[in-house]
Amino acid sequence: MFSIKWDDMDLGDVSFSDLAGSRAPARVIDHENVAVRKAAVKGTVEIIADMILEAKGNLVFLTGAGMSAASDIPTFRDPDHGVWATRDPKQCGTKEAFVHHPERLWTVLMDVVGPENDPKPNLGHKALGDLEALGFTSTVVTQNVDDLHENAGNKDVMHLHGNLWRTFCVACGLQGTNTHELLRTVKKVDLPPRCDHCHGVLKPDAILFGELLDNSIVDRASDLVKHTPLLFVLGTSARVTPASDFPIMAANHGAKVVEINMERTQLTDTCVDVFMNEPLEVVLPQIVELVRQKHLKKDPLGTSMFTLLSSVLNGSSKMPE
């Protein structure tokens, strides 16, 4: 029998330390009966939509490899299928290797991400972009080095591990042509691509093995996490710092935490209020569509222009039966 374990917590003036001992366990959908499960998913979608509607402040979405999986992005560190599973990162993926043989990393990139398999945002990315367009200001803090969140319309995207699609010159520091364009125009024999100004080597702006994260990005992300009313953990097991600290940090500062992952993680039982193990590209559009409908009922005039536009643009988006 499915039971609702999740209670709405009114934080009021109560500090987290008061709550820590009595924190409600995460609402988890865990039932093999298809009909029961379907009803539970629908109910949880509604709970999450209401959490978004009630949240006052900037939402934070912490995303990882699972977010881009439906876009056929190769995951770099997956031990079985990742890019480094069949290549030696010491030979081409470290800072040291890049200094001596920059063409090796560029060759890997050309083989793996371009130009004929240029990934596109999936319905999960698009749902987050749509939510922002509805007026729910949000920041995406991502461990992904792709630019699919930006392409789906999110304006504030922070890349903890850098952005593979931006490049800079290692000699003069100027920004170079973007990686998409380089992989389309430069021939393999001419790798690595070079700076237009000083002919220095161009480096993708992603963190390589042996490189440190950008402190200013980590600091700003931490600050946003401490002030958000609602943090989502999407498609990441958040096993490495600093990403692993963010959900706990948010919960300690009174935020509610929603986790959508294909498997339970170390976070599920420690700081998560609502957990779903459903594909992101399926449930995120359902959640955002429900937010849109409910938001519209509350504020029909203010959003009429958006409704008009979105009904033209997304004529096919429907809630599941």
Q: Which is nearer to Zn ion, 177 or 317 (CB)?
A: 177
* Residue 271 assigned ligand-binding role: no
CA–CA gap between residue 136 and residue 129 (Å, rounded): 10
Closest CA to 139 of 77, 192, 48, 63: 63
Choose between 27 and 166: whose C-beta lies nearer to Zn ion: 166
CA 103 to CA 189: how far, in whole Å? Answer: 9
For Zn ion, which is the closer residue by CB, 97 or 267?
A: 97
CA atoms of 132 and 149, how far apart (whole Å):
11
Q: Which is nearer to Zn ion, 70 or 105 (CB)?
A: 105
Tokens 């709405």 appear where? Answer: 8
Q: How far is the CB of 94 from Zn ion (least distance, A)?
A: 14
Taking phi first (over 0 means left), then psi (-120 to 50 degrees means alpha), and beta for anything else, what does residue 12 get? left
Minimum distance between the CB of residue 96 and Zn ion, rounded to whole angstroms?
13
Rounded to the nearest whole angstrom, what is the least distance from the CB of residue 51 to Zn ion in the complex?
Answer: 47
Query: How many Å apart are CA 52 and CA 56, to the nearest integer?
Result: 8
- Positions that interact with Zn ion (CB under 5 A): 101, 169, 171-172, 195, 197-198, 200
In terms of Cβ atoms closer than 10 Å to its own Cβ (0-12, 13-18, 19+), residue 14 is exposed
Say which of 125, 149, 159, 161 is annotated catalytic: 161
Is 92 marked as a binding-site residue? no
Q: Is position 161 annotated as part of the catalytic site?
A: yes
What is the smallest separation between the CB atom of 36 and Zn ion, expressed in angstroms?
59
Q: What's the start-to-end Cα distance of the chain, in Å?
A: 22
Residue 275 in contact with residue 264, Cβ under 8 Å?
yes
What amino acid is encoded at 208 in this protein? Answer: L
Active site residues: 161
- Residues tagged in the binding site annotation: 169, 172, 195, 198
- Residues tagged in the binding site annotation for Zn(2+): 169, 172, 195, 198
